[in-house]
C-alpha cells in the first residue's frame, strides 16, 4: 500500500516532501488501493507540466520503476502520459 505522506507529497507536487517521505521509509513503487504508483500520480494533469516533470524526475532518481505492470486491463491507457513525461527527461 502506498505510504500516505508520499501520496500527499506527490499530489501537492512537492519534491522536498517526496524525498522526505522516501527517506522516512516510503516505497516509491508501492501501489494505492486503485493500483496506482506514485509515478502514475505524478503524471497528473492537475500538477501542471513543470511540477509533474520535477516529481517524475525525483521519483525516478529515488528508484521508481517505469515499466511496472498493472493488473487492470485499462492500465495501458495510463502508460502513454507516463511515457510522454519521461521522454522529456
Q: How far apart are CA 89 and CA 73, in angstroms?
A: 27
* Number of Cβ atoms within 10 Å of the Cβ of 89: 9
CA geometry: angle at 46 spanning 28 and 29, to 5°? 10
Average pLDDT over residues 26-32: 94
Angstrom CA distances, 70 to 1, 32, 49, 76, 88, stand at 14, 12, 24, 8, 23
Q: How far apart are CA 46 and CA 29, in angstroms?
A: 21
DSSP 27: -
Q: Does residue 61 surpass a pLDDT of 50? A: yes
Give this prediction's pTM.
0.76
Domain coverage including residue 13? 4-87
Q: What's the total number of domains in the chain?
A: 1
Grid cell digits, residue 66: 517505469
CATH for 13 = 1.25.40.20
* pLDDT 10s digits, 38-47: 998 998 878 8
Amino acid at each position: 500500500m502506498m505510504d500516505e505522506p508520499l501520496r500527499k507529497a506527490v499530489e501537492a507536487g512537492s519534491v522536498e516532501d517526496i524525498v522526505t517521505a522516501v527517506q522516512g521509509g516510503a516505497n516509491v513503487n508501492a501501489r494505492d488501493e486503485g493500483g496506482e504508483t506514485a509515478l502514475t500520480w505524478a503524471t497528473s494533469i492537475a500538477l501542471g507540466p513543470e511540477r509533474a516533470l520535477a516529481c517524475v524526475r525525483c521519483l525516478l532518481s529515488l528508484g521508481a520503476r517505469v515499466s511496472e505492470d498493472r493488473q487492470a486491463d485499462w492500465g495501458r491507457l495510463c502508460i502513454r502520459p507516463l511515457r510522454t513525461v519521461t521522454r522529456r527527461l
